[in-house]
Amino acid sequence: MDLGAIWDVIILNPMINILVVLSKVLFNNLGLTIIALTIIIRGATYPLNRKQLLASKKMQELQPKIAELQKKYAKDRQKMAKEQMALFKEAGVSPTGCLLPMLTQMPIWLALYQSIVRVLATGPEQLLTLSRHLYASWPVVFDQIPLASRFLWFDLGVFDPTYILPLLVGASMWIQQKMVTPPNPDPQQQANSTMMLWMMPVMFTFFSLTFPSGLALYWVTSNIISIVMQYFVSGWGPLADTFKFLKKKGGPPTTPGVVDTQIVKKDAQQTTEKRKQSWMFWK
Amino acid sequence: MSRKLKYTLMITIAVILVALGVMGCTSRVPARGWAGVSAINNTLIFTTMTGRIYSVNAADNAILGNPVKLEITSSGGFSCIPSCGTPAATPIAVYASPATGGDLAIFGGFDGRVYAYKMVNNQLGEKYYWRFPTGQSLASIVGGVVVSGDTAFVASIDGTISAIDIAKESEAANSLSIPQDSTILKWSVDLGNKLWATPVVDGDTLYIGCFDKKMYALNTADGSVKWTFEASGAISSAPIIDNNTLYFGGYDRTFYAVSIATHQVVWKFPADATTADAPDNWFWSKALLQNGVIYAPNLDGKVYAIDAASGTLNRAYSFKSDTFTKPAVAASPVLVGDKVVIGVTNLAKNTCKIFALDAAAGATRELASFTEGLNAQLFAFNGKAYLHTTKDNFYSIDPVNGATLKITLTTSTN
């Protein structure tokens, strides 16, 4: 069995069949099904996601200190790297801490993405291909396909001609990015951050103009979930600096400040304490 | 942000974007078509996936004249990023075999237009004789065109069936005028759900299966619905009409015999979905009726031989073997002489095998094997079966001795 076949059997086929069955439960509405499955999967991967968000948050909170180090050791890169690592160690942060959970979740996201594309089956070739992914022992999937592709004002199988959905994709992605992009005193770093802030939303808006709306719906849903999760972990963050009215609302702190620094220190102390205890145990 | 971390982030984002891009492009397979072969008199008509239609002499497989170019000029660019790059000619995908009426070959394109080419000196004219509509196109066409009298009927995937006046089209073409679409269109009716099937006309009734799980019977005069029959799954195959009965299969893995007189089920196979012989996948394409037996192809890799009178299963012919796993019968079987010729494809590996079924002996024999898939309908002509593979090659096979010939379609002006 080649890698593609293993991927199909273990990840893609279950996802496709669950998607089809879920559409039966959700009144034969593929749009609702895409939203529901995205919420379910994001919910199931929440522990990983939370780890990633916390790690990102800690990294954000260390930004002022990192900037200081960069300024201080601008001419000695080796020393700067050493001091940065020391800072990360002291704060109990791993520079790759936010990447690992994200990479772990990637196969699931990709499978969800692929399964949406597959069930949309916009052409004869795709529909014929879909037939080999269905479970013979689940009669409901055979009665259910092809799924009705109308949802709200658009057809899930083609791009949204009103451009509303692509704009929603871009806007939601920008908000999500903005929440995690702190201002940087270094102009060079700030330019990089600004580029990153706009690159993804613009690219995904462009993708939404060429791909079926079903995918755009998935992206919008996923972005909104990310925004909600991010809000509960670190508040509105730098977004509140752009939209001042968000600062007036209650809820978690909007920008990394004293409270967050204290949390980082407390976390670091706890981590050091745990390590000590663990070391004592083995001793 | 440390340089190392920044690079790691950049690489991760780049990987995600590339993955999305690649998956998007590969998942969004452009429509390529899989038109079957057709014939007018002694000229075979081959429609390729590259937007060419060849006229070939059936006697010696010689190409007659230059191929017809079936393409639209767009702003060009990457296959998944339209409106970007230099202007390019895009082939028009055709999924069904051309219908033939007199000296015309008529087919529907995935661009939403019906094209008619006229036979001149035993070959198709280089420019279309007429096309419909001349203005705003219809939705994409997947099914075939059916000609009855001076009317061509075609279904588009948005659920619309159009009746085109061939006589008026020909009149306008002969006088080199471009008619108004409204004067050519006899009627059109919207069934409200996707139509991928080829219609079948019997007398004054047009039958067509729909994705809304219904088989429709329409009045050919005005498109009004005479009656409908609702199955449990979508229908994309054309029905067989015999003995005042419609025979067709659906995505609910059930094959139906429906009385035209009473509009009720005469029988269905399997009568009980839990039986061991119950099909495992969709009835995707049209069945074949021969000597009171229906040969119903299924995507589970079997052809079900069902008694047309009673609906009992005579035999399920399986084409699965240790070396040919996960077969699917996507193409309709054809009758060549006294042999039922069946094309079986492996959708995952894109390979196919051709079998001859001797119904009297109840035996199948492998005729040929190809490292290319088969989705197009088979075509029987002059004692041979013709096939069009997914690698855009054409072959003829003699079901008696299995002699296989690849038909080379190259001219100096390709």
Q: What is the pLDDT of residues B81-131, one digit of tens each?
A: 444 555 678 899 999 999 988 899 999 999 999 999 999 999 999 889 999
What's the mean pLDDT in A147-172? 89
Question: Which chain A residues are Cβ-neighbours of B24 within 8 angstroms?
Answer: 117, 207, 210-211, 215
Across the interface, whether the CB atoms of B5 and A96 are under 8 A apart is answered yes
At the second CATH level, the architecture of B329-414 is Beta Barrel (2.40)
What's the mean pLDDT in A54-58? 76
- Whether A28 has its CB under 8 Å from any CB of chain B: the answer is no
Question: Which chain A residues are Cβ-neighbours of B32 within 8 angstroms?
Answer: 125
Say whether pLDDT at A275 is over 70: no
- Whether A194 has its CB under 8 Å from any CB of chain B: the answer is no
Q: Which residues pair with B396 in a beta bridge?
A: B386, B405
- Domain limits of chain B? 1-30, 33-198, 329-414
- Chain B residue nearest residue A59, CA to CA: B1
Say whether pLDDT at A106 is over 90: no
Question: Of B31, B253, B347, which has the smallest distance from its Cβ to A128's Cβ?
Answer: B347
Determine the Cα–Cα distance for residues A112 and A37; give it in Å rounded to an integer.
8
- Whether A141 has its CB under 8 Å from any CB of chain B: the answer is no
- Give the range with max mean pLDDT: A174-183, B249-258, B321-330, B355-364: B249-258
B393 or A178: which leads in pLDDT: B393
Tell me the pLDDT band of A270, cut-offs 50, 70 and 90: low
**Helix boundaries (H) for A148-257:** 164-179, 187-210, 213-234, 239-242, 245-248
Residues of chain A with pLDDT > 70, as a percent, come to 83
Q: What is the pLDDT of residues B232-241, one digit of tens each?
A: 999 999 999 9
What's the mean pLDDT in B264-288? 91
- Chain B residue nearest residue A61, CA to CA: B1
Question: Of A129, A143, A207, which has the smallest distance from its Cβ to B24's Cβ?
Answer: A207
- ipTM confidence: 0.84
Tell me the pLDDT band of A258, cut-offs 50, 70 and 90: very low
- Whether B142 has its CB under 8 Å from any CB of chain A: the answer is yes
Which site among A103, A104, A210, A219 would you substitute to test the B interface, given the most B Cβ atoms closer than 10 Å to its Cβ?
A210
Across the interface, whether the CB atoms of A132 and B326 are under 8 A apart is answered yes
What's the mean pLDDT in B243-261? 96
Q: What is the pLDDT of residues B372-396, one digit of tens each?
A: 999 999 999 999 999 999 999 999 9
Say whether pLDDT at A263 is over 70: no
User: Tell me, what amino acid is at B100?
Assistant: T
Contacts of A267 by beta carbon, 8 Å cutoff, 6+ apart? A58, A91, A92
If we measure between CA atoms, which residue out of B367, B148, B252, B303 comes closest to residue A145? B252
Which of these ranges, A121-135, B21-35, B284-298, has the smallest mean pLDDT?
Answer: B21-35
Class of domain B33-198: mainly beta
Whether B33-198 and B329-414 share one fold: the answer is: no
- Whether A94 has its CB under 8 Å from any CB of chain B: the answer is no
Q: φ, ψ for residue B233 (rounded to 5)?
A: -140, 170
The per-residue pLDDT for A244 is: 75
| Contact criterion met (CB below 8 Å) for A131 and B328 | yes
Mean pLDDT, rounded, of chain B: 88
The per-residue pLDDT for A283 is: 38
